[in-house]
A and B are shown apart, each in its own frame.
Chain A
Amino acid sequence: DQQVKQNSPSLSVQEGRISILNCDYTNSMFDYFLWYKKYPAEGPTFLISISSIKDKNEDGRFTVFLNKSAKHLSLHIVPSQPGDSAVYFCAATYNAGGTSYGKLTFGQGTILTVHP
């Protein structure tokens, strides 16, 4: 049972345009969401996160939107740059009184290619 899904395996965008990466989840207990970026032969790098008490979080060119009723989150990158080309993973976790130990459940990843 895939609790976190990224249904688009790949996305191609022109430099300067907006990149929108999507993620859906099924577990209603999830209350904290994260995005990671991964370059080949490197470990994933934390990008941005959002708590379920918010619907938007912004950090420079990166904005994450959360729609709890639809169990959907998205990552917007504006403007997109060639250096943003990487695999992007969304992840989710829950607190549950501290018993979750911060375990993350990841989506399958989306390969973003930004063309010059």
Chain B
Amino acid sequence: DAGITQSPRHKVTETGTPVTLRCHQTENHRYMYWYRQDPGHGLRLIHYSYGVKDTDKGEVSDGYSVSRSKTEDFLLTLESATSSQTSVYFCAIRRGTSGLYEQYFGPGTRLTVT
């Protein structure tokens, strides 16, 4: 258990509405990541953070923004949800820094955009 929680765990929303997913960690790790999982694609990186207020884009960042105002929380916002953003979203933390790359994942949020 890496002390990661995600909320909500399930959400159904309508096209065009903004949605914010929250990732919370209890272990004070510097690095945090947001991924989405889709059939045939594995997990793809959306955004990541390497410290408070330090974030950058990943592979599939269009339509998403993030914020990290404190170490323990990493928020993912879908500015105007579309059906293509229906997916399962996972947050992850990285425990080590140099030489250690293992990431530990939260339980996921299943988002459906109708």
User: Which residue numbers of A lie inside 8 Å of B, CB to CB?
Assistant: 4, 6, 32, 34, 41-46, 49, 89, 91, 93, 95, 98, 101-109
Is B45's CB under 8 angstroms from A46's CB? no
Distance, CA A93 to CA B92, complexed state (A): 15
**Neighbour of B48 across the interface among A43, A98, A103, CB < 8 A:** A103
Residues of B within 8 A of A32 (CB): 101
A to B CB contacts below 8 Å, 27 in the list: A4-B42, A42-B108, A43-B4, A44-B43, A44-B105, A45-B105, A46-B102, A46-B103, A49-B101, A49-B102, A89-B42, A91-B43, A93-B101, A101-B31, A101-B48, A102-B94, A102-B101, A104-B43, A104-B101, A105-B45, A106-B35, A106-B42, A106-B44, A108-B40, A108-B41, A108-B42, A109-B42
* Chain B interface residue bracket vs A: 20 to 34
Whether B74 sits at the interface, judged by CB under 8 Å, is no
Contacts known (A43-B108, A44-B90, A49-B102); A102 close to B31, Cβ less than 8 A: yes
Is B98's CB under 8 angstroms from A98's CB? yes
Whether B56 sits at the interface, judged by CB under 8 Å, is yes
Specify which of B42, B48, B99, B108 lies most central, judged by the most chain A CB atoms within 10 Å of its CB: B42
**Neighbour of A89 across the interface among B33, B43, B98, B102, CB < 8 A:** B43
Judged by DSSP, the binding face of B is strand
Distance, CA A87 to CA B43, complexed state (A): 12
Whether B16 sits at the interface, judged by CB under 8 Å, is no
Residues 9-52 of B at the A interface (beta carbon under 8 Å): 31, 33, 35, 40-45, 48, 50
Whether B63 sits at the interface, judged by CB under 8 Å, is no
Q: Kindly provide the distance from the CB of A4 to the nearest chain B CB, expressed in whole angstroms.
A: 8
Residues of A within 8 A of B45 (CB): 103-105
Kindly supply a per-residue 1/0 record for chain B positions 85-114, scoring 1 wherever the CB is within 8 Å of any chain A CB and 0 otherwise: 000001010100011011111111000000
Residues of A within 8 A of B58 (CB): 103
